[in-house]
Structure 1
């Protein structure tokens, strides 16, 4: 603050009054103009310096494009606000699980409202998520709903709004809405004045007390109802009261309400309209409905409160007795329970697969897995809708307990339960024995001869070596004998070694002067393979068995290195081959004696191993579908009969063709091979536990015979300890069967009683029931008492 000093010098010895005033005014003007000017931005309210609010915990951000922003994004400091126009929208940026203080701070920022609350009131945490931008009015509704979830409400207190607990709502200073003035549709507590017909005050008061919220309150002054509740609840009450009060005003009708316990309120209301005809009140506006006739009950309106499942009926007392009889006949527990949620435990079927099937049923077409929710209407091929269920049906599979959780009405569940029972039947089991019989016979005959002649002679440059050789194969070469040449029947003659002859052939040793080698060998190879896999599976269920191993086998021989001054190095690679037998079978049982099979069989095996070429493998694969088989009868799935003959001759041209002497100049390999392959399958349809026991005993016996015949192991029986505490004895089985027969007899008697019962039919309410002995005609005509206190009528 600047200080300005003004000096006024009088012209005379005594200053005049005018000069003194002029100096004072000039000094005052200088002081005022020298003060700093503090101005609040337009549209923002400034708070006293002593009232400091905690900062907002939300993350501040920049304003979105288009000038749209919310409280925290506007860059405002604590206790500052910018009221957003009612016609523009912004984004809600409240953090998740916001406290009451954060919620109020956000509301103050965007609305410039002032709030007061006591730190001792109960509070909580709330999360508001909105994927779209909202207006200021929608933000108010979200704010009221959020604090209502904390058990709080807002009470006006002058220019402030006081946040208090909603338990004291009826004693608060709430906004009052007169009759005919619209109430805001939010969760803020308000007070509504409703004026009704004097003769309907008690009926409507009872109705309002039944339909109000937990913290709501209804007071009556004359024919005026004072309702205090949340705005959304008051709007619903006002709509219902207006409907029933208008209808009850005609012809002295009264208002009755009935809370259903089992049946669906909307369905029962529709039945009442269909039976008696809506708007058929005597003397009222409009005539009788199409279904109303003389002597039947009449009513003006039937209104449904879905939240409480209550029917609100406007009619006369005598007609209500007739309507009540119909309602009580409809509101009964159905077999299996009348609730909406049902749990069906499955014994055999897979819950996920069964939920998929039921989804297709309720939707009238194929659907996904897991859950199904639809309006129960299917469609025929011609495009005409066929109504299968009366309401929404939702099916969820619980794999942990093998159960189906079904949300449906009792009638829909009753229709659906027999379908589930049929699909959840015991599957027949199938035991499959597969025999792979393979026999191969191989005959190989090898004959050959080799000879050579060599000699030394002198030349001008030194001593030389001459050579003539007849070796059709390296295996019968007389120059360098190999181990293979000495196999079988072998004979030969070798001469003396020629000195220096090794250099001619590049061998480290010298060669003989002459040599003759003869060889004859025959090899026989007989192979008999018997593979007997067996597998146990259920009807229409794929089963797979894979038996085998990975065998390390030598690969092709390669030569590496060979650089300057080095020789080639042989490299042997190792690979692993699958030697497995893989079988996939899916049985489809048609009846007790026949079934069809889908079979896929693949057999991999090693044939031969060559040191240079590596391993030769073979694979046999069979894939058959819809193979018809009989129970316990063998079925030949496939087979192979192959015979192969190979003759390979290696000879010296010309000399090998000479009769008899030509055998000295050739080698012949003759190979004959025969293969017989047969695949046999024997199916067994297992129906009882005795069949399983019979198969177990036969397989166990075969194992013992194998051990005794082929091995030296001692026989060891399998430990089959039975816990007889969990088993039922003979007397328990007899008792269980007797109880089953008694229950069946009881059901039979009930069915016979229903068939022989006398059915009394007639128009409802046309005449009172006949009076019993000891009752007068007045007491007999009285309506039947209510089945429960909650369903009452007003007199």
Structure 2
């Protein structure tokens, strides 16, 4: 019986071992702790429960001090590794004022003040530290700075649970504290442990100013890159470091420069009144606020509401707001100091007195049947656009060179326009001979009694650079626009509107630095005419227009001719009474029909006025012209004729 029992036990053991073999071969190997990932999410749990969780997760042994108490809340929806979970554990202990100190295979969890006297990790080298929150002791041998001074400097920069000691025999710094904070102190130490003789360390606490901005300002004000160093200049070994956590300034400099810098920091560490550094009012002297604000608002910025166009470099770094006040001609600007400095420089360059142009014009009408020519050097400048109701007017000019040479403006064709430029005196050829006159005033005087030359107008206008000047010579004529018969009566109700009929001249000058004047000329001539087809809506007009651009020198004269007009007249003469008899009266009267063709010339002479002397020169010339014309004398025109020593009066104030 015992024999069978032994065989049964052996057989049962074989079955158990055989059944366990496949399970052992098919089971995957356990993953190492570093490759495992967990989710840590605790809400107000006891810290001892959290310590037990970490112990089971990492396999580490913990001895918990009875003083370790508190509640833990961790929000971490993401998955982290086991090693990262242990770093989170050390951070949680640091937040609650505790630390994990390793002693062999066991970690002691004790209050942080007691940790610095325990067996914490000791690091001798200045190697880069990982940002962990475990307590360590770092030994830092200093090369240039004094360990005692550094320990005093770092004392306010560490927590109350950390300690900074100086060992003077070896000039070594001993720091016990959280590893992440020691790493920050090493970054500061690398900037101040530099070669220097007679340098001292200082810690300047700031009340209002930002430490980082103060360092930037000090670098700009006190740094010097000139060599060799001159007397009174700041030494090149000066160092500034900003500690953003305490908003303090760490300074390494000589005793003399330290005092200077402290005085400077005291001056700038002031509380800025609310709104003073952002809102400013800039009064303009010459430019228009409404126009200038449009230019400034188009400046590209990094944080502007409108997206900057590709290729545009931001001019201002922040958000800038601007508005124009028309009553005071000022700009209201909201911007930071740095941005306002950029805007102020732009305003200073744009808000300048602009040059002016004095344009003297002469409009005269000449009978084509009479001999009348003006010596002109033809120039094809800019582009000319000619429009006409009848479509018979001349061609266009383009380019910038002399086109024909010395010619005359005679009859350019059937209504064609002619354009030329005269430098110096004006030569006019008539049937009696050639007359040379110095200026437009002399032309008007020479032909004021000539029946074949009619002086229509001699307007003169003063305009600013790039501003349009408008000259209108004509009359305001009523035009019937609508005619309505009143129902049930024979009366008719008509509507009229008044329009300008005559010559309209628009000139926009643009002055170059060489006193060349670019003239954008727009000329329109309208004349009343009889149109049998539109007898119900009389009067009707014939319109002739020209748009052109020319470039002339200062005091040159632009001549526009070829504005041809033809008028028809009819005169009846006969025996009184008998000539009025229907049909039979034709035997007792005569009828004369005649036509007259006239050519309209427009002379334009620009005079550049850039300063008070130019204005006084124009004033003196006009005064002398009036005196000479009164005496009946005409002299050759000379740019240097009016010498400064002739006592030309100058206006008391600059012309604006």
Q: TM-score range by the shorter chain?
A: 0.3 to 0.5
When normalised by structure 1's length, the TM-score is 0.32
When normalised by structure 2's length, the TM-score is 0.38
RCO higher in 1 or 2 (8 Å CA, sep ≥ 6)?
2
